[in-house]
Structure 1
Amino acid sequence: MSAPIVVHGMSRTGGRRVTINGEIAGLAHDDRDLVEFLRRAGLGDAWDLLDDPHWIEWRGGRAHRYEAA
């Protein structure tokens, strides 16, 4: 089973696409953006989930990095 939240690889212009249960939540430019997407999805303790691999899968780059390649 994969994590319900995926932070995809960095875009050429910076930021990373975020999907929640396969639906695009938006383009995060930092952890604050990611937490806001999770909050909007009903996950109130979002800061606690950022490093939990059961919840979030970081693809195509290091976790918590959002700058352009």
Structure 2
Amino acid sequence: MSKPIIVYQPSPSGGRRVRVAGEILGLAHDLRDVAEFLRHAGLEMDETDVESSPLIEWRGGGPGTWPAPW
């Protein structure tokens, strides 16, 4: 069973898709972006919460895996 929040593997063009309850919220480029998307979805999390939350399923690498900036 999937967790309610999914952060997908890094895309070739940069960033990682963030999905909550089946809805794609956007393309995050760092933990701050993920936290902001989750706040807009009504979940009060900061970057530290995002890194350690058991509600988040990280696909294609954990919270420290982000595409290299161009």
Question: Could you tell me the TM-score, scaled by structure 1's length?
Answer: 0.83
Identity %: 56
1:7-33 deviation line (CA, Å, top 9, x unaligned): 000000211001001100000000110
Distance 2:18 2:8 in 1: 6
- Higher RCO (CA 8 Å, separation ≥ 6 residues): 1
Segments of 4+ moved more than 6 angstroms: none
1:51 corresponds to: 52
1:10 corresponds to: 10
Question: Could you tell me the TM-score, scaled by structure 2's length?
Answer: 0.82
> Any gaps of 5 or more consecutive residues in structure 1?
none
RMSD of aligned residue pairs (Cα, Å): 1.4
> Any gaps of 5 or more consecutive residues in structure 2?
none
